[in-house]
Amino acid sequence: MNTRIIGVGSYIPKGIATNNQFENHSFYNEDGSRFGYENTEIIKKFEAITGISERRYIKENLTTSDIAFYAAEKAIADANIDKEDLDYIIVAHNYGDVKHGDHQSDTVPSIGSRVKHLLKIKNPKCVAYDVLFGCPGWIEGVIQANAFIKSGIAKTCLVIGAEALSRVVDQHDRDSMIYSDGAGATIIQETNEDSGIITHSSATYALDEAHFIFFGESNNQEVSDARRYIKMYGRKIYEFALNHVPEAMKACLEKGNTPIEDLKMVFIHQANEKMDEAIIKRFYRLYDKTPPENIMPMSINKLGNSSVATIPTLFDLVKNGSMKNHKLEKGDIILFASVGAGMNINAILYKV
């Protein structure tokens, strides 16, 4: 018995924030000093490094649980299943529901319970809970769903990655330009077919790396409110990712006894275009090879970094033919891989 993705759906917010919307922002360094370049130069360098020209923000009346629900509805419809047959609802996020203009994250009840409520599922045996695992949260949720199904305690699971990072960014921090909002959902089910999850791997590096991504005060020291914002040590994360993610991907491939030549596509967390390209190059270099053309679909240029939502959203776009030059066919071997706060890394080798 294998487990496979039988349905997928995503919610991409309609609100588009282009880079020129940051031209009037006041950017500060971590020590509170003004950044030493004009905003036009900051934005130009930002786009060259990250590949991001625009990102998506949710409307003021929406929260993370709302967009998780929208993506879930689409995945359930795509899978053509009865929502009452779901055994688990697993929602990966990091910051809960933060209402527009609010200073506090709301995680009680859990986002999973809120999604189940919005879906109007009556079955009490459908268990709903949340996963906080940084950006690799959706992959980890799929790994957990796979374990439930393999153990025989579940047959069908809904796994969602949803985040509204626009609610937790410091407008005085250049890194605020990276983040965006979105949600992606998948239905995971047992199958007797020769498809689905081949193998997977996960790791947490917390001895020295735990606080590479954290919650901190605004860079503008004149801001006196008590709000905390998402912060990161970008250079440390870049070096960490390059040193560890390619090895984790290789380990997953070898665990599945799969030659790298058999890989059709790699779905990697959309964190930073240059970083993702460097990870792929280093991954193939471990095999003394060059990455094939179109091996790595990218959505970050238009959608930004929506954390746990990037991979399931990207998978939905490719699966449904919305990504130029990227098409999946039955029997293709693909790799999901992510890195993020914790610091956590994971990967799934998958046969379509």
For residues 145 and 151, give the distance between their C-alpha atoms in angstroms, rounded to a whole number.
Answer: 10
At residue 213, the pLDDT reads: 94
How many residues are recorded in the chain? 352
Percentage above 90 pLDDT, the chain: 81
Tens of pLDDT, residue by residue over 301-324, are: 999 999 999 999 999 999 999 998
CATH number belonging to the domain at 198-351, selected among 3.40.47.10, 1.10.10.60, 1.10.1040.10, 2.40.50.100:
3.40.47.10
At residue 27, the pLDDT reads: 84
For residues 21 and 15, give the distance between their C-alpha atoms in angstroms, rounded to a whole number.
Answer: 12
Q: Which position has the higher pLDDT, 45 or 206? A: 206
Q: What would the mean pLDDT of 71-81 be, rounded to a whole number?
A: 98
C-alpha 236 chain-centroid distance:
19
Tens of pLDDT, residue by residue over 251-262, are: 999 999 999 999
- At residue 168 the predicted structure's pLDDT band, cuts being 50, 70 and 90, is very high
- In this structure, is the dihedral angle defined by the CA atoms of residues 322, 327, 333 and 339, taken in order, positive or negative? negative
User: Structure tokens of 61?
Assistant: 């009346």
Tens of pLDDT, residue by residue over 116-146, are: 999 999 999 999 999 999 999 999 999 999 9
At residue 226, the pLDDT reads: 74
Question: Treating both helix axes as pointing N-terminal to C-terminal, what angle do 39-50 and 273-285 enclose, rounded to 10 degrees?
Answer: 30
| Strands 15-18 vs 88-92: parallel, antiparallel or unpaired | unpaired
Chain mean pLDDT for the chain:
94
At residue 172, the pLDDT reads: 87
At residue 288, the pLDDT reads: 95
At residue 186, the pLDDT reads: 98
Contact 179, 321 (CB under 8 A): no
For residues 119 and 76, give the distance between their C-alpha atoms in angstroms, rounded to a whole number.
Answer: 10
Measured between alpha carbons, how far is residue 237 from residues 44, 245, 262, 343 in Å?
22, 11, 29, 9
Residues 6+ apart with CB under 8 A from 280: 266, 268, 291, 295, 296
Coil, helix or strand at residue 55: strand
Measured between alpha carbons, how far is residue 167 from residues 25, 116, 204, 280, 336 in Å?
16, 23, 26, 31, 27
Tens of pLDDT, residue by residue over 231-248, are: 999 899 999 999 999 999
- At residue 194 the predicted structure's pLDDT band, cuts being 50, 70 and 90, is confident
Parts of the chain belonging to CATH 3.40.47.10: 2-193, 198-351
CATH node for 2-193: 3.40.47.10
Question: Treating both helix axes as pointing N-terminal to C-terminal, what angle do 64-79 and 111-119 enclose, rounded to 10 degrees?
Answer: 50
Count other Cβ atoms within 10 Å, centred on residue 282: 18
Give me the sheet containing 2-11, strands edge to edge: 2-11, 181-191, 156-164, 88-92, 127-131
Q: What would the mean pLDDT of 185-191 be, rounded to a whole number?
A: 95
Going by the DSSP 8-state scheme, the letter that residue 31 receives in this structure is T
